Structure 1
Amino acid sequence: MGALTLSQVTKSFGRTDVIKGVDLAVEDGEFCVFVGPSGCGKSTLLRMIAGLEDVSSGEVAIDGARINELAPARREIAMVFQSYALYPHLTVRDNMGLALKQAGSSRAQIAAATDKAAGMLALGPLMDRRPAELSGGQRQRVAIGRAIVRTPKLFLFDEPLSNLDAALRVATRIEIARLHRELGATMIYVTHDQVEAMTLADKIVVLNAGRVAQVGAPMDLYNDPDNTFVAGFIGSPQMNFLKSGLLGLRSDLLGIRPEHLAISTETGQIAGRVSHVEKLGGETLVYAATEGHGLLTVRLFGEHDFAVDAPVWLTPDAARTLHFDAGGQRLRH
């Protein structure tokens, strides 16, 4: 079991409040991702769960039991860091089994656990190598394997893919998702990359300046954000925001996803000029400068040709628009 509960958790460094009253419930077996911009408090919150930072006030509980005062080693938590933190003089096998050895497990138990983890991570041929003989992706898999052998109640990942190149990030992300399905364990994952959040999570916690902006399933946050912060942060390219008064609408602000904004060279609702075109193969992104609404992004599927500086007309899909008040809160009709 590995259900996590945070109740009015705060963290202050001197007079600076970093975490400002977070309430959260993560169910047993859930994959929960903390996402937000740099400085929002997501890594600090993870370190508080791990016991690497003290809780200023509030309660952290696993399976209903308060763990605020427990040392990190007694929390039954395994953490995978951005840096691999492997011992350079130890082999892969010894790095993975070190925590079990320190806990007094027998050689047979250590061998069984490390061999099982190695099989899950395709590390078998590498078990007698040292970290210097491994690629970055292989080292990260060893770090993940070291966490697996401990069979913790919670797996905590602190931006584990940041040091990998683009192709390895995708491959390792798929590997982590597969491991979650196989292990059925509770995982909490910190990232600033909303694509990682969308593709991995059962539940996303969007943090903004130490507070929870919204919690929900990935597509719920994408399609039904509570505020302009979540609407703008979740989705790539990000949502367009229009001054809806210029369109004769009642709300202060109108949000529309790039794929729900039509573009035409003949007629439409908003006049603009093509500022830039990105041809990505499977899709085309057109950036149009407009009066009153600024730079708007249009996503088109497939290949399309638009000349820079050409006049265009944009029309939002009225059925897919979202309405916000002047403070950025969603208006629901």
Structure 2
Amino acid sequence: MGSLQLKSIRKAYGSHEVLKGIDLEVKDGEFVIFVGPSGCGKSTLLRTIAGLEDATSGSVQIDGTEVGHVAPAKRGIAMVFQSYALYPHLSVKDNMGLGLKQAGAPKAEIEDKVGKAANMLSLDPYLARRPAELSGGQRQRVAIGRAIVREPKLFLFDEPLSNLDAALRVNTRLEIARLHRSLKATMIYVTHDQVEAMTLADKIVVLNAGQIEQIGSPMDLYNRPANVFVAGFIGSPQMNFIEGARLGDVKAKTIGIRPEHMALSRESGDWKGKVVHVEHLGADTIVYIDSEQVGTITVRLFGEHRYAPDDIVYATPTVGAMHRFGDDDRVLA
């Protein structure tokens, strides 16, 4: 279908360097997600792959062929944007088939491919409607269908769910996951939402300030973060970081412990503190504690627990689940 190789990709706007030497290989059929904070360069990297931005230096190869000087329309890619970019005067059917029509495809081929994509995305009842008659989720599915009919080598998604409400995001996320399994296509997806990344990706690329911090499967990054940045970015609630701490035999410049790897008691424990806030989420209870020994810490308890602000509690970390980071903020062996 489509593999991708990026070699030493740099992108600068004048003296401002946005991408600082990106090396990445995406295998045929992989679902790869770029995550990182705003301004980290993830959308710029996606647009460089698409040809919508020119790399200042470096190589972009699709299926082993250099495409740095190939026009976007000739790269064998299809892109789904945050905005649906549908033609308001065209029906769903015509929006989905427009690219094929402009390429001169036979009418029968367009009908066949649009029909298959509509069926895959449950859009059959809406083919005669115009975009204004659709919900946000339906419009995004039309945009995805428009990409499917082109049968590209690479699907590129640029924060496609950020305009949807929470329920629609979940539903559309499931549809994209099913779509990937069905098409066995290579997909590259940009998001700032780590839940999307953790639930969809085969491989996550964590970007920060134009550089790759770590590449790995969702659980690799969660269980074995390479540095403090990745440890803090992946996981919600965020990992607790304790500076200059020593707990038993565990010593490091920074010790990290995830909120779910903490026990809480009203009687005894390692760190005494006062509850400052509690989030009752039904399946989870998130307790924020102001501790004299280690500052503010977060504890995630499964199920409903009746803690309240000003309660005095004792938190105890699971020593075997701690992450140790050195002076350079990288994980210690």
Q: What TM-score comes out, normalization by structure 1 length? A: 0.98
Matched, 1:220 2:220: yes
Give the corresponding residue for 2:51: 51
Q: Residues 239 and 257 of structure 1 are in contact (CA less than 8 Å); yes or no, is this contact kept in structure 2?
A: yes
Give the corresponding residue for 2:275: 274
The alignment of Structure 1 onto Structure 2 pairs a total of residues equal to 332
1:69-104 Cα deviation digits (max 9, x unpaired): 000000000000000000001100000000000111
2-structure distance, mates of 1:251, 1:167:
42
Q: Residues 241 and 293 of structure 1 are in contact (CA less than 8 Å); yes or no, is this contact kept in structure 2?
A: no
- For residue 245 of structure 1, report the CA deviation from its aligned partner: 2.7
2-structure distance, mates of 1:267, 1:296:
16
Give the corresponding residue for 1:289: 290
Give the corresponding residue for 1:94: 94
Give the corresponding residue for 1:311: 312
Give the corresponding residue for 2:197: 197
- Return 26-35 or 249-258, whichever deviates more: 249-258
2-structure distance, mates of 1:179, 1:250:
46
Q: Residues 243 and 292 of structure 1 are in contact (CA less than 8 Å); yes or no, is this contact kept in structure 2?
A: no
**Paired residue secondary structure (1:300):** strand
Matched, 1:163 2:167: no
1-structure distance, mates of 2:294, 2:75:
51
Give the corresponding residue for 1:66: 66
Amino acid at match of 2:126: L
2-structure distance, mates of 1:245, 1:91:
62
Question: Which consecutive unaligned segments of at least 5 residues does structure 2 have?
Answer: none
1:237-279 Cα deviation digits (max 9, x unpaired): 1111112435364211111111101111111111211010111
2-structure distance, mates of 1:22, 1:78:
22
Q: Residues 246 and 252 of structure 2 are in contact (CA less than 8 Å); yes or no, is this contact kept in structure 1?
A: no
2-structure distance, mates of 1:125, 1:308:
52
1-structure distance, mates of 2:135, 2:245:
55
- Return 275-284 or 243-252, whichever deviates more: 243-252
2-structure distance, mates of 1:183, 1:225:
31
1-structure distance, mates of 2:144, 2:117:
9
**Paired residue secondary structure (1:303):** coil
1:24-69 Cα deviation digits (max 9, x unpaired): 0000000000000100000000000000000100100011111000
2-structure distance, mates of 1:87, 1:302:
47
- Return 292-301 or 230-239, whichever deviates more: 292-301
**Paired residue secondary structure (1:214):** strand
Amino acid at match of 2:21: G
2-structure distance, mates of 1:319, 1:244:
18
Amino acid at match of 2:31: F
Aligned structure 1 segments of 4 or more residues deviating by more than 4 angstroms: none
1-structure distance, mates of 2:211, 2:321:
28
Matched, 1:176 2:155: no
- For residue 306 of structure 1, report the CA deviation from its aligned partner: 1.0
**Paired residue secondary structure (2:49):** helix
Give the corresponding residue for 1:242: 242
- For residue 330 of structure 1, report the CA deviation from its aligned partner: 0.3
- For residue 292 of structure 1, report the CA deviation from its aligned partner: 4.6
2-structure distance, mates of 1:74, 1:221:
35
Matched, 1:150 2:150: yes
Give the corresponding residue for 2:4: 4
1-structure distance, mates of 2:246, 2:59:
48
1-structure distance, mates of 2:102, 2:308:
65
Identity of aligned residues (%): 66
Question: Which consecutive unaligned segments of at least 5 residues does structure 1 have?
Answer: none
2-structure distance, mates of 1:119, 1:244:
57
